């Protein structure tokens, strides 16, 4: 059992998502940065879909009431166990009574905490991912109790760790395929879309990211169509909206790009003021939400 002493800015339990329920209007959800979430589970020998704790911007305070192994990946928010610094991307032994806290954010935006065997919050529609009106709570609150499996022998004799390249957090390029309405953009705007830098605005969350800069919209209105995490929509006012893991399942704005899975993970680690740019891939396109490979 883990007790939440303080929840942090926005901390949620996430796995790889709630698949198979989009027809009922249920978003996929899941870890925003799947790369970091999978890495945490992989270092512990967990199943890659085991639930992890996703932490945004500021870390929680967690008291462990049993022994286990943990791993912390993703953004560096200076983690500490009993006020002593611990490393990212390492297996860490936790004993009953130990307290995990965090300091100042140094890089990235979202941190992932995995425990041996995963967090055992209730399964809803085959997923433990928190989402409003689907799960009983949409984020952690003070005094929450998180169930985990106790690991009687939680001493880490393997010293498992990994050193990650900084590219995942420093990369500003977002790879994308052409969306269904991309060709409706005039050639000049197609070039502008890819050639300019965009700045993450304050309007960013698990549902979607927006940017400070706009792109002139000359595309006529479209009927509502299917969208996915990573779909880039262009609003009538020229705002670009990148749908993220909690994004809706359909939308009426032109779908000009579809981010790659890697690009979604990279964008999930960006915060207000961070720059990004789109890199449109020429060897594929998306139609009706499904990738179609061109010869």
Q: Note the pLDDT tens digit of each residue in 123-144.
A: 999 999 999 999 999 999 999 9
Q: Which residues of the chain have pLDDT under 50?
A: 287-295
Nearest-10 Cα torsion for 24, 263, 291, 190: 110
pLDDT of residue 288: 44
Q: How many domains is the chain built from?
A: 2
Is there a single domain that holds both residue 161 and residue 197? no
Task: Cite the DSSP H helix spans in 200-280.
Answer: 261-268
Q: What is the DSSP letter of 183?
A: G
Is there a single domain that holds both residue 7 and residue 141? yes
Prediction pTM value: 0.91
* Residue that is last in its domain, among 139, 167, 195: 167
Is there a single domain that holds both residue 45 and residue 155? yes
| CA-to-CA dists, residue 179 to 93, 231, 278, angstroms | 46, 8, 13
- Token readout for 187 is 């050639």
Strands (E), 117-193: 145-146, 173-178
Q: Find the helix or strand (DSSP H, E) in which 191 lies.
A: helix 187-195
pLDDT of residue 189: 95
pLDDT of residue 222: 83
* Residue that is last in its domain, among 113, 136, 167: 167
**CA dihedral (119, 121, 127, 132) positive or negative:** negative
Is there a single domain that holds both residue 212 and residue 96? no
Domain, as residue range, for 207: 171-293
CATH number at residue 175: 2.40.100.10
Is there a single domain that holds both residue 19 and residue 96? yes
How many CB atoms sit inside 10 A of residue 187's CB? 8
Is there a single domain that holds both residue 95 and residue 20? yes
Going by C-beta distance under 8 Å and a sequence separation of 6 or more, which residues neighbour residue 183? none
Is there a single domain that holds both residue 128 and residue 265? no
Going by C-beta distance under 8 Å and a sequence separation of 6 or more, which residues neighbour residue 133? none
Is there a single domain that holds both residue 95 and residue 207? no
Instruction: Tell which residue, 76, 79, 74, 87, has the closest CA to residue 62.
Output: 79
Is there a single domain that holds both residue 51 and residue 121? yes
* Residue that is last in its domain, among 133, 167, 201: 167
């Amino acid at each position: 059992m883990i007790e939440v002493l303080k929840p942090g800015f926005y901390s949620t339990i996430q796995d790889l998502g709630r698949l198979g329920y989009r027809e009922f209007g249920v978003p996929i959800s899941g870890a925003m940065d799947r790369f970091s979430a999978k890495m945490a589970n992989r270092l512990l020998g967990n199943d890659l879909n085991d639930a992890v704790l996703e932490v945004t911007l500021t870390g929680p305070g967690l008291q462990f009431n049993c022994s286990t192994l943990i791993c912390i990946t993703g953004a560096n928010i200076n983690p500490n166990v009993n006020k002593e610094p611990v490393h990212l991307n390492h297996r860490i032994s936790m004993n009953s009574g130990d307290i995990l806290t965090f300091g100042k954010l140094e890089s990235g935006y979202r941190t992932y905490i995995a425990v041996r065997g995963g967090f055992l919050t209730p399964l809803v529609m085959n997923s433990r991912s928190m989402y409003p009106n689907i799960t009983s709570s949409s984020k952690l609150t003070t005094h929450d109790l998180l169930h985990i499996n106790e690991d009687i022998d939680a001493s880490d004799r393997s010293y498992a760790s990994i050193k990650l390249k900084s590219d995942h957090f420093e990369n500003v390029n977002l790879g994308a395929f052409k969306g269904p309405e991309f060709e409706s953009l005039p050639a000049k705007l197609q070039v502008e879309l890819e050639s300019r830098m965009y700045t993450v605005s304050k309007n960013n969350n698990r549902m979607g990211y927006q940017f400070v800069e706009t792109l002139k919209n000359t595309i006529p209105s479209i009927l509502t169509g299917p969208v996915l995490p990573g779909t880039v929509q262009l609003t009538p006012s020229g705002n670009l909206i990148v749908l993220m893991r909690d994004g809706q399942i359909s939308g009426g704005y032109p779908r000009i790009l579809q981010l790659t899975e890697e690009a979604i993970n990279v964008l999930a680690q960006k915060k207000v003021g961070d720059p990004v740019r789109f890199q449109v891939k020429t060897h594929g396109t998306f139609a009706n939400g499904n990738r179609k490979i061109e010869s």
